[in-house]
Amino acid sequence: MIIYRPFWETLKRSPESTYTLIKNHHLSSSTIDKLRKNKPVTTTTLNDLCRILGCRIEDLVEYIPSDTDQIL
């Protein structure tokens, strides 16, 4: 399971907020909601967040194995 806990920690340390991500950087409020609920977001969105926050991908996402992951 991909979780976005690192994103929220990175956001707290940055000068940005969810408000500025929406108003200044044109992220949608539904994208912010997906991040809150650990729902899938596109790699384009993750790329944008890395650029905006000046961070690496591991500063946004974490993989945690889960029994509820789909069977491969």
- 10-residue averages of pLDDT along the chain (72 residues): 96 97 97 97 98 98 86 76
**Structural domain spans, the chain:** 2-63
Cβ–Cβ under 8 Å, residues 39 and 67: no
Its CATH architecture, for the domain 2-63, is Orthogonal Bundle (1.10)
Residue with tokens 């950087």: 25
Token digits for 5?
């806990």
pLDDT at 27: 97
